[in-house]
A and B are shown apart, each in its own frame.
Chain A
Amino acid sequence: MLKYLTLIILSLSLLMGQSDRFDQASIELNISATVVDFLEMITLSDIDVGTVQPSQMEIRLDPRLDQGAGLIKIQGRQSSSIRIAFTQQVEMVNSATNHTMSIMYNLSGNSLNEQSSSNPINENPVSVNMSSNGEYYIWIGCYFSLAGVTAGTYDGDFVIEVEYN
């Protein structure tokens, strides 16, 4: 009697044991973060073309020689390679007359803060190496013609982008 009873209980237990447990649940979610290296640009000097005389036909500011060249300092990871891209030609607009004037930018760069030994940047974009202190300097010169330009204030944006290679 006990043997058969055990068999029956065992068979019922097996049947019951086949069911899944619905009173518990588990689930996962992901955590993610994209880490990028620190990179900052600081404007140390704006471009200063000085006073423009009416007799001048053009303005040319050499980034390696002229003190009026703009200067940007890039700070980032030490000795890393960065890529610099910039708008080489910008249309400046006279806000009063809507006349435009085309300005060409040219750059030189150096891992040291020495304008005279900076190298002309002839490629756009260009890849350069930061110094062991994580610094790179860019001097910004420009050229524009004054022929046929009406008097007034001209505005336009020079855009420079820097990223790690």
Chain B
Amino acid sequence: MTGIRLKYQLYLLILLQFLIVGLVFSQSIQFSIYVESELNATKQQDIDFQEVITNQGLTPVNLGDPGMGVFAITGNQELDVIVTIDAPTNLTTGGSSDVIPFTLNFAYANKGENDINDAIMVAGNSIRFQLLGRSEGPASHPPTPPHSGYVPTESTAYIYVIGSLDVGDIDAGEYSGTVSLTVEYD
């Protein structure tokens, strides 16, 4: 019902524009807008290597460790998303040129739960996956676009950010860096 009213209002608007300039044409324009589903990303937890000692060498934060970073992505469970992670190659500190080489790895869990047992490791810095993983293979029909009266069911997938530091003979202090995540519907 709301859709019909809108259409009449649009026709009226177009008609008024032509009347204003003194011309009337019996012509209509049809258009449609595809409304994208909303997509949200939130940070659940930073990566914290806590205290490391100079010359400690390779120091990992593994999947499930307390220092593991966690993102949450919430959106239309019927759609696929592409997640891209950008991480620095070094952690830096103020007041010194010393750096700590950093290697990033990440995994995703798309079973609707924040559970590292569902996590799938990713090779590289980008991955496409179903926001809610389907256990029975490809979907039987295309996803229904959001429209009046229909709100797609949402699901949350989790991104676990892990990695390792290579701590050499460096100055003591606080070292830091920033990992950025971008997610979009495929």
- Asked, given contacts A4-B18, A27-B181, whether A34 binds B39 with beta carbons under 8 Å apart, the answer is no
A25 and B100 contact, CB distance less than 8 A: no
CB of B29 within 8 Å of the partner chain: yes
| A28-B36 contact, Cβ under 8 Å, with A4-B23, A33-B49, A33-B50 | no
Number of interface residues of B (CB under 8 A): 58
Q: Which of A35-43, A53-61, A106-114, A117-125 contacts B (4 or more CB under 8 A)?
A: A35-43
Given A4-B17, A8-B29, also A23-B37 (CB < 8 A) = yes
| Chain A interface extent, by class | 20 to 34
Interface status of B174 (Cβ within 8 A of chain A)? yes
Q: A38–B69 contact, CB under 8 A?
A: no
Q: Considering the complex, which residues of chain A in the window 45-70 have a beta carbon less than 8 Å from any beta carbon of chain B?
A: none
| B129 at the binding interface (Cβ < 8 Å) | no
Known: A29-B161, A31-B46, A35-B167. Is A16-B182 also a contact (CB below 8 A)?
no
- Docked Cα-Cα span, A21 to B38, in Å, equals 9
User: How near does chain B come to A54, taking the closest CB pair, in angstroms?
Assistant: 49
Q: How far is the CA of A35 from the CA of B55 in the complex (A)?
A: 10
Q: Tell me, yes or no, whether B178 is within 8 Å of chain A by CB.
A: yes
Expressed in whole angstroms, the minimum distance between the Cβ of A131 and any Cβ of chain B is: 18
The verdict on A33 contacting B175 (CB below 8 Å), with A1-B25, A4-B18, A25-B182 known, is yes
B47 at the interface (CB under 8 A from A): yes
The total of Cβ contacts below 8 Å across the A-B interface reads 137
Contacts of A99 in B (CB 8 A): none
Residues of chain A lying within 8 A (CB to CB) of residue B100: 33, 35
Output the nearest chain A residue to B47 by Cβ-Cβ distance.
A31
With A and B bound together, what is the CA distance between A26 and B178 in angstroms? 13
Tell me the bound Cα distance from A31 to B165 in angstroms.
10
Q: Is the CB of A29 within 8 A of B53?
A: no
Q: What residues of chain B have their CB less than 8 Å away from a CB belonging to chain A?
A: 14, 17-18, 21, 23, 25, 29, 31, 33, 36-43, 45-55, 59, 69, 71, 73, 87-88, 91, 93, 100, 102, 161, 163, 165, 167, 170-185
Closest 10 CB pairs of A and B: A33-B49, A23-B36, A25-B41, A24-B184, A27-B41, A31-B47, A22-B38, A30-B46, A31-B177, A28-B180
